Structure 1
Amino acid sequence: MKLMMTKRNKYLLTGGLLLLTATPSFALFGIGDIVFDPTSYASLVSQLTTLESQYKMLQNNITHFSLKQQWQTTLNAMKNANVGNLFGETSGMSIALNTNSPSASATAWTAGTIKVSGSTSTYLQGQTPGSAQLSQLAMIEASDSISPDCLTAVGQYRGARTQNVTANNTLASQQFDSSDGTNTEVEQLNLLNAAEAQKMSEMQSQGVLQACLASQMTVANMQQRNAAAQDLNTAAFVQQQRSTNNVSAANESNTWQTYIP
């Protein structure tokens, strides 16, 4: 009996070894239509693991944030400009500063500035470019061109900011919404694109204002430069006249009376 059991064990051991050394695809229990392929099984497990990882990633992408409000800021509204106009001296100024109205800007600038009279124009006809008088006229003409445009730029910015309040608030509301509907990956990407578009519009609007500031600084620099040049010219003229006309006490009879002190 012991000998028979030993042989049986040998048979089982041999069969097990044959099973382990079999080809990747083989029949189970002698039934030809039931086949086990270890290679295909391992590939299937790998695919299922990958799908599970992708599913978890997608699930995380649609999970909403519940504490978005901690990032929310407030859009400050701009107060409309209200310029006093007691005698018509600022006619159109309030409209120019609050709306996109080039005509109101031109009217306001003309009403609030000193005009060059006809007699002054006649006097200036005898001057040459580069003279003190024509330099002053050039500054006035540059300012008359730039300043109305700057008034319009300010009005455009104020008007556009007021018009954009609804769009800005809507975007902010959706960005900080914590529901699932606005927290999908596609929705969040759309919101990012919308925010970038709004940022671009704001930068372009501010670019117009910056160009206006640069223009105004150019006119202001022209005025300061002309004033400095005029001072130097006056000092040189006075020095020349003092050298030519002795004004000391010993020569009072030769004192020159028309020089600029």
Structure 2
Amino acid sequence: MKFNMKKHRKYLLAGGLLLATATPSFALFGIGDIVFDPTSYASLVSQLTTLESQYNMLKNNVTHFSLKQQWQTTLTQLKNVNVANMFGETAGMSIALNTNSPSGSITAWKTATVPVNSSTSTFLKGQTVGSSTQLSQLAMIEMADSVSPDCLTAVGQYRANRSQNQTANTTLLQNQFDGTSATNSEVQQLNLLNAAEAQKLSEMQSQGTMQTCLASQMTVANMQQRNAAAQDLNSAAMVQQQRAMNDTSAANEGHTWQTYIP
């Protein structure tokens, strides 16, 4: 009996230590092998909540708009230019303005403008650069002959490229405003955005070429206006000087009318 009591105490001590180190749990319905663990249940609920949030986020990402057409705009059309050509004076100009043809632009510009002939060149040889009205006019003509064909080519390129890009622009527009699930996944929409940015970059580069052309033409036009203003001032000073040096008084008059400029 004494031996059994000691053995029984050892079993009780071992059982108490086991209970002290066990995780919080308890048996269900009085059955020892079915155990409910509150810590594991809380972890599982947290994981399910996270999965639900991720699912809702993915669901929102693939949800598409069904009324995209409310944002749709219209692409402005450009018609081909048809320049009148009664006597051949604008031969090749229509081609230059509608196609990408640098050589055609040069030919059309030369045909439509007045050349500087050989006798004029002989006359200009005796002029001094920087103080010659005629040489400044020649400089303006030479600048115009340089930039104007390039501008013709830029306009022709823009018109030709706009026609060629029409199909790509229309297709992209249709996909962007498609209300079905065929083009509304997140990856597809990002691809459409990238395509739109690429088309925007091409348009900006084309617009940059056109703006360069406008700046060049404005430079030539400003040069013409500046030379005209300088010529007016020089003419006024010359007339005033001539009046002062040559007496144009009427008979029996004692002074010269120096403020009159014809």
Q: TM-score, normalised by structure 1?
A: 0.85
SS in 2 for 1:169: helix
CA contact (8 A) 1:25 1:35 kept: no
* Amino acid in structure 2 at the alignment position of 1:111: T
Q: CA deviation at 1:88?
A: 1.1
**Percentage of identical aligned residues:** 75
For 1:26, the equivalent position in structure 2 comes to 25
Deviating more after overlay: 217-226 vs 177-186: 177-186
For residues 144-169 of structure 1, the C-alpha deviation after alignment (integer angstroms, 9 at most, x for no partner) is 00000000000000000000000000
Q: Which runs of 5+ in 2 are unaligned?
A: 1-19
* Amino acid in structure 2 at the alignment position of 1:192: L
Q: CA deviation at 1:196?
A: 0.8
Map 1:175-254 → 2, pairs under 5 A: 175-250=176-251
For 1:148, the equivalent position in structure 2 comes to 149
CA contact (8 A) 1:97 1:151 kept: yes
CA contact (8 A) 2:89 2:112 kept: yes
For 1:79, the equivalent position in structure 2 comes to 79
For 1:16, the equivalent position in structure 2 comes to none
For residues 69-109 of structure 1, the C-alpha deviation after alignment (integer angstroms, 9 at most, x for no partner) is 11111212210000011211111100100010001100110
CA contact (8 A) 1:63 1:183 kept: yes
Count of paired positions: 235
- For residues 34 and 26 of structure 1, the distance between their equivalents in structure 2, rounded to whole angstroms, comes to 10
For 1:65, the equivalent position in structure 2 comes to 65
- For residues 63 and 21 of structure 2, the distance between their equivalents in structure 1, rounded to whole angstroms, comes to 48
Q: CA deviation at 1:35?
A: 4.1
For 1:135, the equivalent position in structure 2 comes to 136
CA contact (8 A) 1:24 1:38 kept: no
CA contact (8 A) 2:26 2:37 kept: no
For 1:103, the equivalent position in structure 2 comes to 103
> Are 1:46 and 2:46 matched, yes or no?
yes
- For residues 36 and 250 of structure 1, the distance between their equivalents in structure 2, rounded to whole angstroms, comes to 135
- For residues 34 and 126 of structure 2, the distance between their equivalents in structure 1, rounded to whole angstroms, comes to 114
Q: CA deviation at 1:250?
A: 2.6
Deviating more after overlay: 215-224 vs 78-87: 78-87
Q: CA deviation at 1:124?
A: 0.2
- For residues 214 and 167 of structure 2, the distance between their equivalents in structure 1, rounded to whole angstroms, comes to 28
CA contact (8 A) 2:96 2:152 kept: yes
Q: Which runs of 5+ in 1 are unaligned?
A: 1-20
For 1:118, the equivalent position in structure 2 comes to 118
* Amino acid in structure 1 at the alignment position of 2:248: V
Q: CA deviation at 1:251?
A: 6.8
- For residues 96 and 23 of structure 1, the distance between their equivalents in structure 2, rounded to whole angstroms, comes to 91
Deviating more after overlay: 33-42 vs 103-112: 33-42
CA contact (8 A) 2:61 2:185 kept: yes
- For residues 24 and 214 of structure 1, the distance between their equivalents in structure 2, rounded to whole angstroms, comes to 82
- For residues 239 and 233 of structure 1, the distance between their equivalents in structure 2, rounded to whole angstroms, comes to 10
- For residues 50 and 250 of structure 1, the distance between their equivalents in structure 2, rounded to whole angstroms, comes to 113
Q: CA deviation at 1:33?
A: 5.3
- For residues 23 and 86 of structure 2, the distance between their equivalents in structure 1, rounded to whole angstroms, comes to 101
SS in 2 for 1:202: helix
CA contact (8 A) 1:28 1:35 kept: yes
- For residues 251 and 182 of structure 1, the distance between their equivalents in structure 2, rounded to whole angstroms, comes to 99
